[in-house]
A and B are shown apart, each in its own frame.
Chain A
């Protein structure tokens, strides 16, 4: 029995990866939109100024803080949660590809994918 992928398997992988990417972007866009509407309803009359850079208020920056703020229902928090889903989409794609390579018993590329995945997770977790 050989472990080379058949074309049929490859097409299924292509469709699965495509669907994963599309779903991630769509979900992220909807969450960002919802948060944005909420943010503008509450603060739309205020002023915006991005001329001078002054870090983000603590809490919106770190991974756990973003999730907590998003769940708490503040407009900016929900937007940031949507952005986090967007960032997580390619990370999920790498994890998925690692599984595909594992099913193909392609040990080299499982290692390559896991290396990339660990670098990404380490960067996101800080």
Chain B
């Protein structure tokens, strides 16, 4: 296959990944690395480099839409970036030290947990009348978000716990070239009791900054190859824009389950590949 055909095939695969990712709300970066390594035989270092860069594109695009609708909590995002950015720097530095096979297995495991996290039923915490949390109040994190019935107030809780989990999300993002959206949402909606829509919007808002922290290290170490990254970025971006236009923010439960099941199969394949080598 010459470079032109290779680039076109990768762009088409990336388009599908971006389309499915935004349609199901799981994010297209999720499956870019498995697609590149398992299907195209790329080294995982090139794959996570291309994936990290595409994540910046798709999350910035999604964040732009959410922030205009008023779901994003700027203060929560900014504060938690103090945790994700150093985490990402640690993770990105670890890539050079860890053996490729361990990296592959770790990727599969994180993919598996993320798929499970995003499909599990979630209970919305109603916090409008809850007592104010001292730390959250001092940091002015409580806010409101638009609903069909008008603006709804919410209170933020357990800031240190969310902060710690965000650091972990940052490490995983830098180590594996992913957005860690599932872990970020977990930290916000389960630990800090933010509403789902606010968690998702703020997570998207943070993903680009977390990824940009690792990007410097990735670029210097040569994980970002322009020839490979070019079709991936353009394909994922076009696919996710189309997906978002078709079904903005309301993935059906069945579609999510279906996609998560497929992701789980891919994850197991990555783990197998890492443990036993070869294909």
Cβ contacts under 8 Å, A87 to chain B? 53, 56, 211-212, 215-216, 219
* B226 with A90: CB separation less than 8 A: no
* A25 with B57: CB separation less than 8 A: yes
Near B by CB (< 8 A), chain A positions 22-77 give: 22, 24-25, 28-29, 32-33, 35-36, 39-40, 43-48, 50-56, 60-63, 66, 76-77
Cβ contacts under 8 Å, A29 to chain B? 57, 233-234, 237
Chain A interfacial residues counted at CB < 8 A: 68
Write the chain B residue with the least CB distance to A61: B220
Is B7's beta carbon under 8 Å from chain A?
A: yes
Cβ contacts under 8 Å, A14 to chain B? 67-68, 70, 72
* B82 with A115: CB separation less than 8 A: yes
Q: How far is the CB of A29 from chain B (nearest CB, A)?
A: 6
Q: How far is the CB of A97 from chain B (nearest CB, A)?
A: 6
* B43 with A51: CB separation less than 8 A: yes
Is B208's beta carbon under 8 Å from chain A?
A: yes
Q: How far is the CA of A52 from the CA of B129 in the complex (A)?
A: 57
* B60 with A24: CB separation less than 8 A: yes
* B226 with A79: CB separation less than 8 A: yes
Near A by CB (< 8 A), chain B positions 6-42 give: 6-7, 36, 40-42
Write the chain A residue with the least CB distance to B208: A90
Is B78's beta carbon under 8 Å from chain A?
A: yes
- Contacts A21-B61, A89-B56, A109-B78 given: A36-B231 contact, CB under 8 Å? yes
- Contacts A53-B43, A90-B60 given: A18-B68 contact, CB under 8 Å? yes
Cβ contacts under 8 Å, B113 to chain A? none
* A83 with B212: CB separation less than 8 A: no
Q: How far is the CA of A55 from the CA of B208 in the complex (A)?
A: 24
Is A102's beta carbon under 8 Å from chain B?
A: no
* A50 with B46: CB separation less than 8 A: yes
* B81 with A46: CB separation less than 8 A: no
Cβ contacts under 8 Å, B3 to chain A? 40, 43-48
Q: Which residues of A contact B (CB under 8 A)?
A: 10-11, 13-15, 17-19, 21-22, 24-25, 28-29, 32-33, 35-36, 39-40, 43-48, 50-56, 60-63, 66, 76-77, 79-80, 83-84, 86-91, 93-94, 97, 100-101, 106, 108-109, 112-113, 115-116, 119-120, 123-126
- CB-based closest 3 A-B pairs: A56-B222, A90-B208, A44-B4
Q: Which residues of B contact A (CB under 8 A)?
A: 1-4, 6-7, 36, 40-43, 45-46, 53, 56-57, 60-61, 63-65, 67-68, 70, 72, 74-75, 78-79, 81-82, 85-86, 89, 139-140, 208-209, 211-217, 219-222, 224-231, 233-234, 237
The 9 listed contacts between A and B (C-beta, < 8 Å) are A17-B74, A21-B61, A22-B60, A25-B57, A33-B234, A48-B7, A53-B46, A66-B219, A120-B213
